[in-house]
Amino acid sequence: MTTAIIGTGGIGSVIARRLAAGGEILRLSSADKESARTLAAEIGGAAVVAVDNRDALRGADAVVLALRFTALKGVIGEIADPLADKLVVVPSNPLAIDAQGNVVRLLPKGQSSGEAVAGWVPAAARLAMAFGTMSADLFESASGRSPEPAVLFYATDDDRAGEEVERLIRTAGFEQVKVGGIEQSGRLEEGGDLHDLVVGPAEARSLIGGR
Ligand SMILES: NC(=O)c1ccc[n+]([C@@H]2O[C@H](COP(=O)([O-])OP(=O)(O)OC[C@H]3O[C@@H](n4cnc5c(N)ncnc54)[C@H](OP(=O)(O)O)[C@@H]3O)[C@@H](O)[C@H]2O)c1
């Protein structure tokens, strides 16, 4: 199947490499195209560079918006029509770097990136928050772990989105565990109790119920 990846930086490039290794066809887009071109050349025949963000969605079954939180709302507005009836996967944390180089939170305490993004995507899109629970390095090293696979947690309000994101998680070399609806997505994000954890399925399930 085909997935569009918009944003081919730190996390988008790792997600792309692992999905391609699992057999997914990719359509890549980035702001100035250079990082998308470099990544497509590295991946080979399974990845093409789209002309722009809207073109990335052409023929795609799903899209991963691997963008900094500050870019998300604008890009969602730009691609709103083609997002309808697609799985939209978002790994973004609500963080930015200020002028002094400090990491700052962009949303009030208690409001998650997932809850904000749910207000921006069109109603006909199927949103899942996933693929942002680990740093890019951890994600790459934990993918394809054996004999016990590592877990990627996800959150969604939509059953069909759940099935679709589970397929993508398995394609990327992980086992999937649902944390709950979008209102639970703060648990996956920076500062959440499930962020940056590399655990197997049994421990993951006990953590889900363990609060
Ligand atoms: N990096 C991690 O380890 C990690 C782990 C988990 C979650 N996350 C979350 O994932 C999100 C992305 O982080 P990152 O580290 O991957 O950021 P990043 O390295 O800055 O990559 C952002 C990507 O977005 C692209 N971009 C920016 N504006 C765009 C636009 N209007 N249209 C299309 N592409 C655009 C950039 O394109 P150019 O390359 O052309 O500039 C770049 O490829 C953040 O919210 C972060 O919290 C990151």
Closest atom, ligand 1, to C-alpha of 74 = 31
The predicted pLDDT at position 211 comes to 55
Q: How far is the CA of 72 from the centre of ligand 1 (A)?
A: 10
Beta bridge partners of 156: 128
Residue pLDDT, tens place only, 8-24: 999 999 999 999 999 99
Query: In the chain, which stretches have pLDDT less than 50?
Result: none
Which residue shows structure tokens 């109603």? Answer: 123
Question: Is the minimum distance from the CB of 60 to ligand 1 under 6 angstroms?
Answer: no
Residue 14 — φ and ψ, nearest 5°? -70, -45
Q: Is the dihedral of CA 165, 92, 152, 14 positive or negative?
A: positive
Other Cβ atoms within 10 Å of 176 Cβ, number: 21
Per the rule left: phi > 0, alpha: psi between -120 and 50, beta: everything else, 129 is beta
Q: Do the beta carbons of residue 169 and residue 87 sit within 8 Å?
A: no
Q: Are 30 and 38 in contact (CB under 8 A)?
A: no
Query: 20 and 46 in contact (C-beta within 8 Å)?
Result: yes
Instruction: Please give the pLDDT value at position 85.
Output: 87
Q: Please name the residue whose Cα sits nearest to atom 13 of ligand 1.
A: 68
**Ligand 1 in reach of 106 Cβ (< 6 A):** no
- Start-to-end CA distance of the chain, whole Å, equals 36
What pLDDT is attached to residue 210? Answer: 56
Q: Could you tell me the distance, in angstroms and rounded to a whole number, from the CA of residue 49 to the centre of ligand 1? A: 16
Residue 58, C-beta contacts closer than 8 angstroms, at least 6 positions apart: 27, 50, 82
**C-beta separation of 171 from 19 below 8 A:** yes
Residue 60 main-chain phi, psi, to 5 deg: -85, 145
**DSSP letter for each residue of 30-49:** -SSSHHHHHHHHHH-TTEEE
- Residue to substitute in 13, 14, 30 for testing ligand 1 pocket (most ligand atoms within 8 angstroms of CB): 30
Rounded to whole angstroms, the Cα distance separating 169 from 165 reads 6
CA of residue 30 to ligand 1 center, whole Å? 9
Residue 209 pLDDT:
83
Report which ligand 1 atom has the smallest distance to the Cα of 71.
28
Model-wide pTM > 0.95? yes
Q: Ligand 1 centre and the CA of 202: distance in Å?
A: 31
Question: How far is Cα 99 from Cα 86, in angstroms, rounded to an integer?
Answer: 37
